[in-house]
Chains A and B, each alone.
Chain A
């Protein structure tokens, strides 16, 4: 799947800008984007919206055995982050001391390389998050 360039290219705007879906009917926010609001279904009025790049870690795990393409970064931190508009996403957490990457920590988005397929392969970019020490 990694080799499929259109797959990577198609999601660029959504990933680079943290664009999610807001449902004007019920107020829910979803990331990634959805075509149907699971709560309102066809009554949902969905619009793309740039989501806040700040949030809080709900859970974190340090990965020691990585999938292909992430070998050079191992070990690295993954977290489920709840953004300030209550949408949630899964992300790597970087540029942060190990003992700071824990539930409750405030984080903010950074733009990073995610992986490269091979020496001459395409490079995928996207969001990662970092802890804001003492952050509010």
Chain B
């Protein structure tokens, strides 16, 4: 396997795009990434696109071909990757493997979801398909409810509080204020989160990531050829993935994601680094409790101490592990097929020094992105380092 670098990134603004279709969004993001990478269409050799539920959201399948077609990249091979909310992260990993293997030198990776063309109720049904249709959704489970069941047990076992969960949302919203691509560039107070009303107890409206339209893309290149296109390559140090049961109730524990623990452990091993070496983290905070569990499961704090870790500011910009400086899924928005790519892009921006100045870390060298599908049945972890 050879080294692979990210040589270009691009995305649309995340939010409600009433005037843009899925094809508009993904094309805008793809063109932005290809321009940023300084490659020509003829340099790109394959396309990998993450998309979770276009069939349910807009009645469109065959997204791989649609991507190549709309980006003007025919007749390149194009593949749609689906792994629920980890579709983007898995697409990135497929692109990585394709270049690392030596099959291709340059590939484009995209993630996209168009979620606001349907009613909120229909969107909830589409999203619940990320869980177990026959044994969770059938019984009236929603995604907030499934994460709420994890949160409730986390509170019981470890004394995690609703305030600690709310603080994840407060901090992430604070970061998003400076992010021009974020859906909610608006700070929220602890009181606002606590007063926002239960969706599924103990999770409230502002503990939950929103419905979002958006696309994100990046260009991967064999590291040995990256200098032909850019003087700011970011190298992929690790790309790992793990699976767990589709349904929450069949897991060994409700208070953590084993797939995150496994993919995280493997990523640190593959990259040859420890948690202390990581300068910046983008983790999958689809719900506030998910950020707390991710910090624990990735080993940045001990199991059960994530709530306190967040409360004490240890995941803040000036803390031990600056987390979700983009605003996270909570405030940037969560177009489910795009988020895995977006998380990687925001790590790359930090390492290149291209993040908004309010959140840009000084001299960040190594970053990790963490992407979860469903309630933890798929987890993808990537580690990156500055390659210049």
Contacts and interface: CB of A to CB of B under 8 A. Distances in A.
Interface of A: 1, 7, 11, 30, 32, 58-68, 70, 73, 76, 78-80, 88-92, 103, 114-115, 124, 126
B140 A62 contact: no
B125 interface: yes
A90 B148 CA distance: 13
B153 A103 contact: yes
Interface residues of B, number: 37
Contact of A62 (B141, B151, B198, B250): B198
B139 interface: yes
B134 A114 contact: no
A58 B248 CA distance: 12
Contacts of B148: 61, 63
B357 to A, nearest CB: 38
Contact of A88 (B125, B199, B249): B249
Given A59-B152, A67-B125, A103-B153, A90 B200 contact: no
Interface string B226-252: 000000000000000000000111100
Contact of B200 (A32, A62, A124): A62
B247 A62 contact: no
Contact of A68 (B125, B134, B198, B254): B125
A62 B122 CA distance: 21
9 contacts: A58-B153, A63-B199, A64-B198, A65-B124, A90-B247, A92-B140, A114-B138, A114-B139, A126-B138
A65 B199 contact: yes
Nearest to B152: A59
B198 A59 contact: no
A67 B250 contact: no
Interface of B is mostly: helix
B156 A103 contact: yes
**Majority DSSP secondary structure for residues of A touching B:** strand
A48 to B, nearest CB: 16
B254 A59 contact: yes
A59 B150 contact: yes
Contacts of A80: 149, 153, 248-249, 254
Contacts of B200: 61-65, 78
Given A30-B250, A67-B124, A90-B135, A60 B152 contact: yes
B149 A67 contact: no
Nearest to A70: B140
Nearest to B197: A64
B200 to A, nearest CB: 5
Given A61-B200, A62-B200, A89-B135, A78 B145 contact: yes
Given A59-B153, A90-B247, A114-B139, 18 more contacts: A1-B129, A61-B145, A62-B200, A63-B141, A63-B148, A63-B200, A64-B198, A64-B201, A65-B144, A67-B121, A67-B124, A67-B125, A68-B125, A70-B140, A88-B250, A90-B136, A91-B139, A115-B140
A61 B136 contact: no
Most buried by B among A11, A80, A91: A80
Interface string B119-136: 001101100110001111
Contacts of B144: 63, 65
Given A61-B149, A65-B200, A103-B156, A11 B140 contact: no
A116 to B, nearest CB: 13
A90 B139 contact: yes
Contacts of A92: 139-140
B134 A126 contact: no
B193 to A, nearest CB: 16
Contact of A78 (B129, B141, B156): B141
A121 to B, nearest CB: 15
Interface string B94-135: 000000000000000000000000000110110011000111
A44 B171 CA distance: 48
A66 B140 contact: yes
A67 B129 CA distance: 12
B142 A66 contact: yes
A58 B141 CA distance: 16
